[in-house]
Structure 1
């Protein structure tokens, strides 16, 4: 499946060129850790026709130490949200943000996991759109309620029990910043370090300086160097399951399937029976 859509292709779609009758639903997922003002950023400036998606309220359930800071919402809740964005059966959905698709990838993964095939990330996001000289708009957008029927389980996931042994049977990637993996800095979770056996693979290395994803060949080289192989089961986690979706997208671009651990380190570190290690190596040392 194609993962990305470039801004020129999206502009053509929005202008009505080559859409073959398919509607395009454009969703703005403006969110970054520590910045609660995504809606305000959206209201000030967004792509024409885009609707705002509230990551914390619509792409996650209430924080729960046993499930993590951003647990997945129920299927019923997610379907209601998707319909409120106007999604209908057969629509093409394009998600973007202004942070290298670190937030938008959460929506991309959730819709793909819900059975929608025509879901794309806008490569480069808002910055790429602006850089191409295309117009933006401000203010709120509303949509007529859609009728999309969602499912669950179209993409692979793992739980904490599987994460505990994944490093022995496959490859577990930690998508957080290196200093959080090593346990040098932990701003939000109760313990610092990483899941034993996990390999550090920060999501920021999936992108070039322009905020676009690296080429498939460059991503394939990156992940191969980290130990990813076609015959090795790969799974990814991050802090709360948000940026890990970005890594799953990057792996897909590179040609590798990967499972997501939705609870991620925020779930793992809240359970005192789960070991946490520090340092630069997968097996690390006990903190």
Structure 2
């Protein structure tokens, strides 16, 4: 099987991997999947792997055995690439979250498709309906966690004000300025965070901008090339997508998976927010 390049692959490379036996996961919402799916794809919902408490709903389950069981049930194998799709323009970056999760749980060959589901359909990948899809073959993947691409709340708090760290708020501008559309306990942004909405790294078709343009947008937002980037959003989905993209481009990046839902639920003095 062809070695898996990077964290993001072109539609052509994705097709090659799928033809060679890679597991294909569809991270789109059930509503979008009702319109059609890629032949051979397996549905995956990011919330199946997160904690049930509202304030922790962006954080991975703590039970490695349960995570292993669920991933094996999706047909995830230790030695096979996992190709993940979503809809870049109509979704939340769910494909990025699934790839970030798999990499964080020890799978070195999880990749996101540039342009997502629409790009593969455009390339001629056959579609079908979920009702006619086959059950996946059970995988053998076993979770082996790494915290290389994740940061927790207390570590982030200790990093505030550091010249070596850039905190990136990947939400919409109204959220950065204080809007709470998703039930956050408080509004605003983490002190010192710069704003760059994650979809500003895509073109009109939902494909990634050229690397030079992405680096330029980071620079314009106030993030120097040498900084470690800590991304956050509401529940860690958009920030995971950003982490995948930036890691793919060679930047040092981590996702604060608890994000604003956890931070805003914390003590006002210890975990402040700026308007």
Give the counterpart of 2:203 among 203, 208, 215: 208
Quote how far apart the aligned CAs of 1:114 are.
1.4
Determine which of 144, 159, 164 is the counterpart of 2:152: 159
TM-align CA RMSD: 1.9
* Aligned equivalents of 1:271, 1:173: Cα separation in 2: 20
Provide the TM-score with structure 2 as the length reference: 0.88
CA drift at 1:223: 1.5
What's 1:95 paired with? 84
Alpha-carbon deviation of 1:40? 4.6
3-state DSSP of counterpart to 1:248: helix
Report whether the alignment pairs 1:61 with 2:51. Answer: yes
Q: Give the equivalent residue in structure 1 for 2:273.
A: 276
Task: Show the counterpart of 2:61.
Answer: 73
- Which of 96-105 and 78-87 deviates more? 96-105
From 131, 137, 140, the equivalent of 1:147 is 140
Question: Does the aligned pair in 2 maintain the 1:115–1:154 contact within 8 Å?
Answer: no
Paired with 1:268 and 1:55, the residues of 2 have a C-alpha distance of: 20
Partner of 1:29: 27
Tell me: CA distance 1:221–1:80, structure 2 relative to 1, closer, same or farther (3 Å). Answer: same
Q: Does 1:251 align with 2:272?
A: no
Aligned residue number for residue 161 of structure 2: 168
Deviations 1:169-226 (A, max 9, x none): 1211111111100114533212111111111121111111110111111111112223
Aligned mate of 1:191, from 170, 186, 194: 186
Deviations 1:143-171 (Å, cap 9, x if unpaired)?
Answer: 12111122111523222222224231121
Which position in structure 1 is the counterpart of 2:32?
41
Which residue pairs with 1:282 in the alignment?
A: none
The answer for the alignment partner of 2:257 in structure 1 is 262
Is 1:234 paired with 2:222? no
Q: Distance in 1 between matches of 2:80 and 2:34?
A: 24
Q: Secondary structure at the match of 1:168?
A: coil
Residue aligning to 1:123: 114
The 2-side partners of 1:147 and 1:253 are apart by 26
Equivalent position SS for 1:266: helix
* Secondary structure of 1:217's aligned partner: helix
Equivalenced residue count is 262
Selected match of 2:73 from 47, 64, 84: 84
Cα distance in structure 2, aligned partners of 1:147 and 1:60: 21
More deviation in 235-244 or 221-230?
221-230
Q: Which residue of 1 aligns with 2:16?
A: 12
The 10-residue stretch of structure 1 (229-238 or 241-250) with the greater mean CA deviation from structure 2: 229-238
In structure 2, runs of 5+ residues without a counterpart are none
Q: Give the stretch that moved more between structures: 68-77 or 206-215.
A: 68-77
Measured in 2, the distance between the counterparts of 1:253 and 1:71 equals 22
TM-score (norm 1): 0.84
